[in-house]
């Protein structure tokens, strides 16, 4: 929305994982960790003697819904 010739308001709506499907991947979607990075917790998922064996909910974040509302004033 233009207020004057030099001023404007901008509204932005961003939603991630809006349908809330579980995404069991290491780290967070917005994380900048290198590809292939796995911590000790991730490898414990595959060890039968570990407490978190075959329990992805205990190891990975399921990336819940995120909503961002932005109001930007441009001058």
Segment 55-67 shows an average pLDDT of 71
Higher pLDDT among residues 73 and 64, named by residue: 73
- Cβ neighbours of residue 47 under 8 Å, at least 6 residues apart? 53
pLDDT tens track for 6-55: 999 999 998 877 777 666 666 555 555 555 555 667 777 778 888 888 87
What pTM does this model have? 0.42
> How far, in Å, CA of 70 to CA of 27, rounded?
25
56 secondary structure, DSSP code: H
- Quick one: 26 exposed, middle or buried, by C-beta within 10 A (0-12, 13-18, 19+)? middle
């Amino acid at each position: 929305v233009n207020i004057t010739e030099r001023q404007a308001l901008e509204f932005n709506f961003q939603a991630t994982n809006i349908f809330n499907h579980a995404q069991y991947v290491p780290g967070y979607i917005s994380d900048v960790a290198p590809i292939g990075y796995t911590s000790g917790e991730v490898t414990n998922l595959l060890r039968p003697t570990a407490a978190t064996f075959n329990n992805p909910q205990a190891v990975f974040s399921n990336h819940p819904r995120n909503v961002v509302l932005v109001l930007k004033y441009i001058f």
